[in-house]
Structure 1
Amino acid sequence: MGISVCAYRPGGTAEYVDDPDQISELRGQDGRLLWVDMVDPTDAELDHVADEFELHHLAMEDAKKHGQRPKFEKYPTHAFVVAYSNPSGEIDLFVGPDWLVTVRERDDAGEVWSLDGARSRFERTRAEDATVGFLLYVILDEIVDGYFDVVDQAEERLEVLEEQIFAEEAYEERSLQRELLTVRRQLLQFRRRVVPLREVVSALLRKEVPWLEDATLLHFQDVYDHVLRATDLLDEQRELLGNVVEAQLAIVSNRMNQVMKTMTSWGAIILGSTLVAGIYGMNFEHMPELGWKLGYPFALAIMATITVVG
Structure 2
Amino acid sequence: MVKHIHHFLLIPELRCLEAKNGFYSESFIISSDLSNFTERPIALRWYGYEHLNDREVIEDVGNYFGLYPLLVEDIVHQNQRPELDDPGQLLLVTVPTFSWNPERMEVTRKQINILWRENDLVTFASSEKDLLEPVRQRIRRGKRSHYRDLHPDFLFCAVLDLLVDQHLDFLDEIRVSLILMEDTLSEKPDPQLLQEVYRLRRQMISVARVMPSVRSLVGELYDDYSEWFREENLMYLRDVQDHSQQVLEFVKADREILSGMIDLYLSLMSQKTNDKMKVLAVISTIFMPLTLIAGIYGMNFQHMPELGWEFGYPMVLLFMLVIGIGIGWFLKQKDWF
TM-score interval, normalised by the smaller of the two chains: 0.7 to 0.9
Question: For 1:29, what is the secondary structure of its paired residue?
Answer: coil
CA pair 100-304 structure 1, distance change in 2 beyond 3 A: same
Find out whether 1:2 has 2:15 as its counterpart.
no
1:121-175 deviation per Cα after TM superposition (whole angstroms, max 9, x unaligned) = 2452446663321221111111122222223223323333443355xxx514224
1:163-193 Cα offsets, whole Å, 9 max, x none, are 3355xxx514224423433443444333333
1:91-125 Cα offsets, whole Å, 9 max, x none, are 1122212212211113xxxx434321111224524
Quote how far apart the aligned CAs of 1:287 are: 6.4
In the alignment, the residues of structure 2 paired with residue 13 and residue 122 of structure 1 have an alpha-carbon distance, to the nearest angstrom, of 8
Mapping 1:147-186, distance limit 5 Å: 147-166=167-186, 170-186=187-203
Tell me which residue corresponds to 1:34.
45
- How far did 1:43 drift? 1.6
Deviation above 6 Å: which 4+ runs of structure 1? none
Distance (whole Å) between structure 2 residues aligned to residue 278 and residue 291 of structure 1: 14
Q: Does 1:68 align with 2:80?
A: yes
**1:142 maps to which of 162, 165, 169:** 162
Aligned position for 2:229: 212
What is the CA distance between 1:265 and its match in structure 2?
Answer: 0.7
Partners of 1:149 and 1:300 in 2: how far apart?
70
Number of residues paired by the alignment?
302
Q: Does 1:265 align with 2:282?
A: yes
Judge conservation of contact 2:112–2:124 (CA < 8 Å) in 1: yes
**Range that drifts further, 232-241 or 129-138:** 232-241
Which residue number in structure 1 is paired with residue 29 of structure 2? Answer: 18
Aligned to 2:259: 242
Query: Which digits, 9 at most, give the CA deviation of each residue in 1:61-116, with x for residues without a partner?
Result: 1112211111212112422211123261311122212212211113xxxx434321
User: Which amino acid letter does the alignment assign opposite residue 134 of structure 1?
Assistant: F
Amino acid at match of 2:164: V
**Alpha-carbon spacing, 1:56–1:89, altered in 2? closer, same or farther (3 Å):** same
Provide the secondary structure at the position in 2 that maps to 1:68: coil
Q: Which amino acid aligns with 1:276?
A: I
Partner of 2:332: none
Given the superposition, is the C-alpha separation of residues 150 and 127 from structure 1 closer, same or farther in structure 2, using an over 3 Å criterion?
A: closer
What residue identity is the alignment partner of 1:152? D
Percent identical residues: 24
Q: Describe the SS at the equivalent of 2:173.
A: helix
Please state whether the residue corresponding to 1:35 is helix, strand or coil: strand
Normalised to the residue count of structure 1, the TM-score between the two structures is 0.83
Which range moves more in the overlay, 193-202 or 126-135?
126-135
The range that moved more, 205-214 or 188-197, is 205-214
Q: Which moved more, 1:18-27 or 1:123-132?
A: 123-132
SS in structure 1 of the partner of residue 20 of structure 2: coil
- Cα separation, 2, equivalents of 1:85 and 1:21: 29
Aligned residue in 2 for 1:232 = 249
Aligned partner of residue 131 in structure 2, secondary structure: coil
Cα distance change on mapping 1:23 and 1:64 into 2, 3 Å:
same
1:129 & 1:306 partners in 2: Cα distance? 92
Q: Distance in 2 between matches of 1:223 and 1:253?
A: 45
